[in-house]
């Protein structure tokens, strides 16, 4: 193993050990997130309520709705037979959440469910606007208010006691109600000589809506604190006897994660160990990204032997002074290119040839005439050519071909 890699691994192990030692004696921080999940044991979860609900609602069937929307559940229970046109189930729809976690389509279906002689119990700080408007209600939820409230029931026969809730309650209440169809069931106050409505019963056709603004009363924190559980029991005592359909899916999808890393991320020390491991692997990949292999030798391209051969032959003719032979080969090469590239007959190098070559190449006509003259003179000559003749013909050919 490379020496640098060993150093990186040692540093990573050392840092991880420091984190584990630092976190070993630290208490796990309390999660105050209001999930209202039946699986959460944190202060504002509903784990205790889930375990005790059967004792409060005795001899009542409780069915949980966790994976589908209320609309999907209720719509599947509706009998569309023209002779029936009613739900196959009877009872109370129950939902406890921090804020509205029910979509508008489900709210419309819930109205239809209640209109057929059923009930709905909703405990949340902020209600759907379509629900409030349909029932002629208005609610207020104010921020920045001291996190405590005195809460009590309106009916003294049910309970005369006031309960002081100190965590998670806020100041949420009904500021406007329809007095013809609404019965006030409970109040709250965060200041002396003040009273706001926080629990009502609203008649809707053949059924009733029970609306409550303090869901924290059902949380783990308050059910386990002093006698606050009595308040939750008194609230549920208003529910008619019958089946209860409890919508437990929270606003952030409260189902337990099935990820194998769920426990690791729930523990701060293990979570940081996981992140550091990923960082260490990333560092290892970066420093070992280069491929380790032998040096590839540089292969020189093969020389162009044809060019070398041509140069050698040309030098041989030139050294021997055989200028006639060199001129003949240059003329043959020139005429061959003219035939192949411009498709011009080279049998007769006359004025007609000059016109055609000038037309197709666009070269200077005087240069073409000079070259034709030199070629014809060379063919007529029977004496050996001089070096000057070779140079003149070569230059004339280069002017036309280049």
Same domain for 324 and 382: yes
Q: Is residue 278 part of a domain?
A: yes
Which residues, other chains included, contact 397 with Cβ-Cβ below 8 Å and sequence gap of 6+? Answer: 330, 331, 334, 371
Q: Is residue 295 part of a domain?
A: no
Same domain for 229 and 102: yes
Domain boundaries, position 159? 47-263
Backbone dihedral angles phi then psi of residue 304, each to the nearest 5 degrees: -80, 95
Per-residue pLDDT of the chain (402 residues; tens, 9 = 90+): 566 767 777 787 777 777 767 666 666 788 888 999 999 999 999 999 999 999 999 999 999 998 899 999 999 999 888 777 899 999 999 999 988 889 999 999 999 999 999 999 999 999 999 999 999 999 998 765 556 689 999 999 999 999 998 888 878 999 999 999 999 999 999 877 789 999 999 999 999 999 999 999 999 999 999 899 999 999 999 999 999 999 998 644 544 455 667 677 777 778 888 888 888 888 777 776 665 666 678 888 777 665 565 566 666 666 666 777 788 888 888 888 888 888 888 888 888 988 988 888 888 888 888 888 888 888 887 556 677 877 888 888 888 887
Same domain for 199 and 278: no
Same domain for 283 and 195: no
- Catalogue the E-assigned strands of 215-347: 243-247
**pTM for the structure as a whole:** 0.61
Helix ranges (H only) for 40-174 are 47-56, 70-76, 104-115, 129-134
Which of 162, 160, 184, 164 minimizes the C-alpha distance to 173?
A: 184
Same domain for 257 and 322: no
Provide the number of structural domains found in the chain.
3
3-state secondary structure 184-221: EEEEEECCCCCCEEEEEEEEECCEEEEEECCHHHHCHH
197: helix, strand or coil? strand
Same domain for 127 and 206: yes
Q: Is residue 37 part of a domain?
A: no
| Residues 199, 212 contacting (CB under 8 angstroms) | yes
Same domain for 209 and 335: no
Same domain for 333 and 185: no
Q: How far apart are CA 227 and CA 212, in angstroms?
A: 19
Same domain for 357 and 241: no
For 29-76, the pLDDT digits (tens) are 888 889 999 999 999 999 999 999 999 999 999 999 988 999 999 999
- The β-bridge partners of 243 are 91
Same domain for 246 and 186: yes
């Amino acid at each position: 193993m490379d020496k640098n890699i060993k150093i990186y691994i040692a540093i990573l192990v050392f840092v991880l050990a420091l984190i584990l030692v630092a976190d070993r004696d630290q208490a796990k921080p309390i999660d105050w997130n209001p999930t209202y999940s039946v699986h959460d044991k944190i202060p504002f979860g509903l784990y205790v309520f889930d375990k005790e609900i059967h004792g409060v609602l005795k001899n009542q069937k409780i069915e949980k709705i966790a994976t589908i929307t209320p609309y999907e559940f209720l719509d599947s229970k509706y009998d569309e037979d023209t002779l029936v046109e009613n739900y196959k189930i009877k009872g109370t729809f129950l939902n406890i959440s921090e804020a509205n976690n029910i979509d508008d389509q489900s709210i419309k279906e819930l109205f239809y469910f209640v209109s057929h002689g059923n009930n709905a119990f909703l405990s949340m700080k902020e209600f759907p606007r379509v629900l409030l408007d349909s029932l002629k209600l208005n609610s207020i939820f104010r921020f920045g208010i001291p996190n405590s409230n005195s809460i009590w029931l309106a009916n003294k026969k049910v309970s005369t006691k006031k309960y002081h809730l100190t965590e998670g309650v806020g100041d949420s209440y009904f500021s406007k109600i329809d007095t013809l169809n609404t019965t006030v069931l409970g109040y709250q106050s965060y200041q002396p000589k003040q009273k706001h409505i926080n629990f009502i019963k609203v008649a809707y056709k053949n059924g009733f809506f029970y609306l409550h603004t303090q869901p924290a009363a059902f949380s783990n924190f308050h059910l386990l604190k002093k006698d606050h559980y009595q308040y939750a029991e008194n609230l549920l005592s208003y529910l008619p006897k019958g089946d209860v359909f409890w919508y437990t899916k929270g606003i952030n999808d409260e189902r337990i994660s099935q990820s194998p890393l769920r426990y690791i991320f729930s523990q701060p020390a293990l979570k940081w160990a996981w992140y550091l491991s990923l960082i260490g692997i990333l560092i290892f990949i970066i420093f070992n990204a280069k491929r380790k292999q032998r040096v590839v030798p540089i292969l020189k391209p093969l020389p162009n032997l044809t060019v070398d051969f041509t140069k050698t032959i040309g030098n041989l003719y030139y050294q021997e002074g055989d200028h006639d032979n060199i001129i003949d080969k240059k003329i043959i090469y020139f005429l061959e290119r003219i035939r192949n590239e411009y498709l011009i007959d080279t049998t007769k190098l006359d004025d007609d040839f000059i016109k055609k070559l000038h037309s197709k190449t666009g070269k200077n006509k005087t240069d073409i005439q000079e070259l034709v003259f030199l070629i014809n003179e060379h063919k007529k000559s029977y004496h050996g050519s001089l070096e000057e003749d070779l140079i003149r013909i070569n230059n004339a050919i280069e002017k036309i071909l280049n």
